Amino acid sequence: MANGKLIQSVERSLDMLMQVAHSQNGLKLNEVAKLCGLKPTTAYNILRTVETKGFLSKDENTVYKLGPAISELSELAREDDIQELVGGHMEKLSKKYPSAIITFAERNGLEIYCRLRKSPHYRQVVAPYRSKYSSISGAAVRLLLAFAPDECLINYLSMNPDEDEERYRSEKNKIRTDKFVNPSKNGEFLAAALITFNNTEPFHAIGIRMTEQEAAGMDRKKIISDLKETTYNIDSDFSKRHK
Protein backbone atom coordinates (compact mmCIF):
# COMPACT_ATOMS: atom_id res chain seq x y z
CA MET A 1 0.00 0.00 0.00
CA ALA A 2 1.30 3.46 -0.88
CA ASN A 3 2.23 5.72 2.02
CA GLY A 4 0.14 8.82 2.64
CA LYS A 5 -2.79 10.11 4.59
CA LEU A 6 -6.16 8.56 3.81
CA ILE A 7 -9.20 10.79 3.37
CA GLN A 8 -11.57 9.95 6.22
CA SER A 9 -14.76 11.03 4.45
CA VAL A 10 -13.92 8.83 1.45
CA GLU A 11 -13.20 5.88 3.73
CA ARG A 12 -16.53 6.35 5.47
CA SER A 13 -18.39 6.64 2.17
CA LEU A 14 -16.89 3.41 0.90
CA ASP A 15 -17.58 1.65 4.21
CA MET A 16 -21.23 2.66 3.95
CA LEU A 17 -21.46 1.42 0.37
CA MET A 18 -20.03 -1.94 1.40
CA GLN A 19 -22.43 -2.24 4.34
CA VAL A 20 -25.41 -1.53 2.10
CA ALA A 21 -24.08 -3.86 -0.60
CA HIS A 22 -23.77 -6.75 1.85
CA SER A 23 -27.24 -6.22 3.32
CA GLN A 24 -30.06 -8.33 1.92
CA ASN A 25 -32.82 -5.74 1.87
CA GLY A 26 -30.99 -2.45 2.30
CA LEU A 27 -30.36 -0.45 5.48
CA LYS A 28 -31.96 2.46 7.29
CA LEU A 29 -29.98 5.49 8.44
CA ASN A 30 -29.63 4.35 12.07
CA GLU A 31 -28.50 0.89 10.94
CA VAL A 32 -25.80 2.34 8.69
CA ALA A 33 -24.64 4.72 11.43
CA LYS A 34 -24.40 1.89 13.97
CA LEU A 35 -22.54 -0.47 11.64
CA CYS A 36 -20.04 2.24 10.69
CA GLY A 37 -19.67 3.65 14.21
CA LEU A 38 -20.90 7.12 13.28
CA LYS A 39 -23.36 9.64 14.65
CA PRO A 40 -26.65 9.62 12.69
CA THR A 41 -26.14 13.23 11.58
CA THR A 42 -22.68 12.44 10.20
CA ALA A 43 -23.95 9.29 8.52
CA TYR A 44 -26.88 11.18 7.01
CA ASN A 45 -24.67 13.84 5.42
CA ILE A 46 -22.42 11.23 3.85
CA LEU A 47 -25.33 9.07 2.70
CA ARG A 48 -27.03 12.08 1.15
CA THR A 49 -23.86 12.97 -0.77
CA VAL A 50 -23.40 9.41 -2.04
CA GLU A 51 -27.09 9.24 -2.95
CA THR A 52 -26.85 12.50 -4.90
CA LYS A 53 -24.06 10.97 -7.00
CA GLY A 54 -26.23 7.94 -7.77
CA PHE A 55 -24.27 5.33 -5.84
CA LEU A 56 -27.12 4.87 -3.35
CA SER A 57 -30.88 5.23 -3.63
CA LYS A 58 -33.52 5.64 -0.92
CA ASP A 59 -37.00 4.13 -1.21
CA GLU A 60 -40.29 5.34 0.24
CA ASN A 61 -39.47 3.59 3.54
CA THR A 62 -36.17 5.52 3.78
CA VAL A 63 -34.21 2.31 3.20
CA TYR A 64 -30.89 2.81 1.43
CA LYS A 65 -29.99 0.45 -1.41
CA LEU A 66 -27.36 0.45 -4.13
CA GLY A 67 -28.03 3.09 -6.79
CA PRO A 68 -27.86 3.09 -10.60
CA ALA A 69 -24.26 4.34 -10.67
CA ILE A 70 -23.16 1.01 -9.18
CA SER A 71 -24.82 -0.86 -12.04
CA GLU A 72 -23.14 1.48 -14.51
CA LEU A 73 -19.72 0.81 -12.99
CA SER A 74 -20.42 -2.92 -13.05
CA GLU A 75 -21.39 -2.74 -16.72
CA LEU A 76 -18.26 -0.75 -17.58
CA ALA A 77 -16.12 -3.34 -15.80
CA ARG A 78 -17.90 -6.08 -17.74
CA GLU A 79 -17.32 -4.17 -21.00
CA ASP A 80 -13.58 -3.93 -20.26
CA ASP A 81 -13.59 -7.63 -19.41
CA ILE A 82 -15.28 -8.52 -22.71
CA GLN A 83 -12.91 -6.32 -24.71
CA GLU A 84 -9.87 -7.89 -23.08
CA LEU A 85 -11.27 -11.39 -23.50
CA VAL A 86 -12.48 -11.02 -27.10
CA GLY A 87 -9.43 -9.05 -28.19
CA GLY A 88 -7.11 -11.88 -27.17
CA HIS A 89 -9.03 -14.43 -29.20
CA MET A 90 -9.18 -12.08 -32.19
CA GLU A 91 -5.39 -11.79 -32.04
CA LYS A 92 -5.08 -15.59 -32.10
CA LEU A 93 -7.42 -15.85 -35.09
CA SER A 94 -5.50 -13.09 -36.85
CA LYS A 95 -2.25 -15.04 -36.51
CA LYS A 96 -3.87 -17.94 -38.38
CA TYR A 97 -5.21 -15.62 -41.09
CA PRO A 98 -2.91 -12.56 -41.14
CA SER A 99 -4.40 -11.10 -44.34
CA ALA A 100 -7.98 -11.18 -43.02
CA ILE A 101 -10.05 -8.44 -41.42
CA ILE A 102 -11.69 -9.71 -38.24
CA THR A 103 -14.55 -7.84 -36.59
CA PHE A 104 -16.49 -8.13 -33.35
CA ALA A 105 -20.01 -6.71 -33.58
CA GLU A 106 -22.48 -5.85 -30.85
CA ARG A 107 -26.20 -5.09 -30.61
CA ASN A 108 -27.17 -2.55 -27.97
CA GLY A 109 -30.85 -1.69 -28.00
CA LEU A 110 -31.74 -0.78 -31.57
CA GLU A 111 -28.13 -0.15 -32.61
CA ILE A 112 -25.75 -2.65 -34.17
CA TYR A 113 -22.16 -1.62 -34.71
CA CYS A 114 -18.63 -2.91 -35.07
CA ARG A 115 -17.02 -2.69 -31.65
CA LEU A 116 -13.60 -4.25 -32.27
CA ARG A 117 -11.59 -4.63 -35.45
CA LYS A 118 -8.33 -6.36 -36.34
CA SER A 119 -6.81 -5.98 -39.78
CA PRO A 120 -3.36 -6.31 -41.37
CA HIS A 121 -3.07 -2.51 -41.14
CA TYR A 122 -3.24 -2.53 -37.32
CA ARG A 123 -0.67 -4.09 -35.04
CA GLN A 124 -3.36 -4.80 -32.46
CA VAL A 125 -7.11 -4.98 -32.01
CA VAL A 126 -8.68 -1.51 -32.14
CA ALA A 127 -12.06 -0.08 -31.20
CA PRO A 128 -13.35 1.82 -34.26
CA TYR A 129 -15.90 4.60 -34.16
CA ARG A 130 -19.36 3.11 -33.61
CA SER A 131 -20.98 3.23 -37.01
CA LYS A 132 -23.03 1.11 -39.36
CA TYR A 133 -21.03 -1.17 -41.61
CA SER A 134 -21.88 -2.26 -45.13
CA SER A 135 -22.78 -5.83 -45.97
CA ILE A 136 -19.30 -6.30 -47.43
CA SER A 137 -17.26 -5.10 -44.45
CA GLY A 138 -19.67 -6.12 -41.71
CA ALA A 139 -20.42 -9.84 -41.86
CA ALA A 140 -20.73 -9.92 -38.07
CA VAL A 141 -23.08 -6.93 -38.14
CA ARG A 142 -25.28 -8.54 -40.78
CA LEU A 143 -25.40 -11.80 -38.85
CA LEU A 144 -26.72 -9.98 -35.78
CA LEU A 145 -29.26 -8.21 -37.99
CA ALA A 146 -30.55 -11.59 -39.14
CA PHE A 147 -31.58 -12.37 -35.56
CA ALA A 148 -32.56 -8.86 -34.45
CA PRO A 149 -36.16 -7.66 -33.96
CA ASP A 150 -37.84 -5.71 -36.76
CA GLU A 151 -37.44 -2.40 -34.89
CA CYS A 152 -33.67 -2.86 -34.95
CA LEU A 153 -33.74 -3.73 -38.64
CA ILE A 154 -35.80 -0.64 -39.48
CA ASN A 155 -33.37 1.53 -37.52
CA TYR A 156 -30.38 0.03 -39.32
CA LEU A 157 -31.90 0.38 -42.79
CA SER A 158 -33.07 3.93 -42.01
CA MET A 159 -36.32 3.50 -43.88
CA ASN A 160 -40.04 3.72 -43.20
CA PRO A 161 -41.75 0.40 -44.09
CA ASP A 162 -45.06 2.21 -44.61
CA GLU A 163 -43.56 4.51 -47.23
CA ASP A 164 -41.47 1.93 -49.08
CA GLU A 165 -42.99 -1.42 -48.15
CA GLU A 166 -41.75 -3.36 -51.18
CA ARG A 167 -38.12 -2.30 -50.75
CA TYR A 168 -38.27 -2.92 -47.00
CA ARG A 169 -39.62 -6.44 -47.51
CA SER A 170 -36.88 -7.14 -50.04
CA GLU A 171 -34.11 -5.92 -47.72
CA LYS A 172 -35.61 -7.69 -44.73
CA ASN A 173 -35.92 -11.00 -46.58
CA LYS A 174 -32.35 -10.70 -47.83
CA ILE A 175 -30.98 -10.07 -44.33
CA ARG A 176 -33.14 -12.69 -42.62
CA THR A 177 -32.14 -15.45 -45.04
CA ASP A 178 -28.49 -14.46 -45.53
CA LYS A 179 -26.78 -15.74 -42.37
CA PHE A 180 -23.28 -15.16 -43.75
CA VAL A 181 -22.14 -18.73 -43.44
CA ASN A 182 -19.50 -19.13 -46.13
CA PRO A 183 -20.86 -16.74 -48.76
CA SER A 184 -18.71 -15.20 -51.46
CA LYS A 185 -19.78 -11.77 -52.66
CA ASN A 186 -18.18 -9.17 -54.89
CA GLY A 187 -14.89 -11.03 -54.96
CA GLU A 188 -14.66 -11.43 -51.19
CA PHE A 189 -14.98 -14.33 -48.78
CA LEU A 190 -17.15 -13.60 -45.74
CA ALA A 191 -18.17 -15.61 -42.70
CA ALA A 192 -19.52 -14.89 -39.22
CA ALA A 193 -20.57 -16.75 -36.07
CA LEU A 194 -22.60 -15.80 -33.01
CA ILE A 195 -21.30 -15.33 -29.47
CA THR A 196 -23.90 -15.81 -26.73
CA PHE A 197 -22.09 -14.86 -23.49
CA ASN A 198 -24.68 -17.12 -21.80
CA ASN A 199 -27.56 -15.00 -23.14
CA THR A 200 -30.51 -16.64 -24.83
CA GLU A 201 -30.65 -13.86 -27.43
CA PRO A 202 -27.61 -13.15 -29.64
CA PHE A 203 -26.13 -9.72 -28.98
CA HIS A 204 -22.58 -10.34 -30.24
CA ALA A 205 -20.93 -11.90 -33.27
CA ILE A 206 -17.46 -12.26 -34.74
CA GLY A 207 -16.78 -12.11 -38.46
CA ILE A 208 -13.93 -12.60 -40.89
CA ARG A 209 -13.34 -11.10 -44.34
CA MET A 210 -10.69 -11.65 -46.98
CA THR A 211 -10.47 -11.36 -50.74
CA GLU A 212 -11.13 -14.36 -52.95
CA GLN A 213 -7.48 -14.20 -53.97
CA GLU A 214 -6.38 -14.38 -50.33
CA ALA A 215 -8.81 -17.23 -49.66
CA ALA A 216 -7.71 -19.16 -52.75
CA GLY A 217 -6.13 -22.46 -51.83
CA MET A 218 -7.45 -22.31 -48.26
CA ASP A 219 -9.83 -24.83 -46.80
CA ARG A 220 -12.92 -22.66 -46.36
CA LYS A 221 -14.60 -25.17 -44.12
CA LYS A 222 -11.53 -24.94 -41.90
CA ILE A 223 -11.82 -21.13 -41.80
CA ILE A 224 -15.44 -21.39 -40.67
CA SER A 225 -14.52 -24.13 -38.21
CA ASP A 226 -11.80 -21.91 -36.71
CA LEU A 227 -14.28 -19.04 -36.51
CA LYS A 228 -16.83 -21.14 -34.66
CA GLU A 229 -14.13 -22.56 -32.40
CA THR A 230 -13.12 -18.98 -31.55
CA THR A 231 -16.67 -18.12 -30.50
CA TYR A 232 -16.85 -21.32 -28.44
CA ASN A 233 -13.58 -20.47 -26.67
CA ILE A 234 -14.76 -16.91 -25.98
CA ASP A 235 -18.01 -18.20 -24.47
CA SER A 236 -16.13 -20.81 -22.46
CA ASP A 237 -13.61 -18.33 -21.05
CA PHE A 238 -16.37 -15.85 -20.26
CA SER A 239 -18.29 -18.53 -18.34
CA LYS A 240 -15.20 -19.43 -16.31
CA ARG A 241 -14.64 -15.80 -15.35
CA HIS A 242 -18.24 -15.26 -14.29
CA LYS A 243 -19.07 -18.43 -12.38
DSSP designation for 125: -
Q: Report how many helices (DSSP H) and strands (DSSP E) the chain contains, helices first.
A: 9, 7
Residue 35's pLDDT is 94
Q: What is the pLDDT of residue 79?
A: 65
Show the domains of the chain with their CATH numbers. 8-66 (1.10.10.10), 75-241 (3.30.450.40)
pLDDT tens, the chain, 243 aa long: 455 688 998 999 999 999 999 998 899 999 999 999 999 999 999 999 999 999 999 988 899 999 888 877 876 666 667 777 888 898 899 999 988 889 888 887 777 778 788 888 777 777 665 554 444 347 788 788 888 888 888 877 777 888 888 888 888 887 776 655 545 556 678 888 888 776 666 688 888 888 878 888 888 888 888 988 998 888 888 778 766
DSSP state of 148: S
Q: Are 57 and 65 in contact (CB under 8 A)?
A: yes
What is the distance between the alpha carbons of residues 125 and 131, in angstroms, rounded to a whole number? 17
Instruction: Output the furthest CA–CA distance in the chain (Å, rounded).
Output: 76
The sign of the CA dihedral 192, 197, 199, 204 is negative
Please report the pLDDT score of residue 136 as a whole number: 39
H/E element, 20: helix 8-22
Amino acid at 174: K
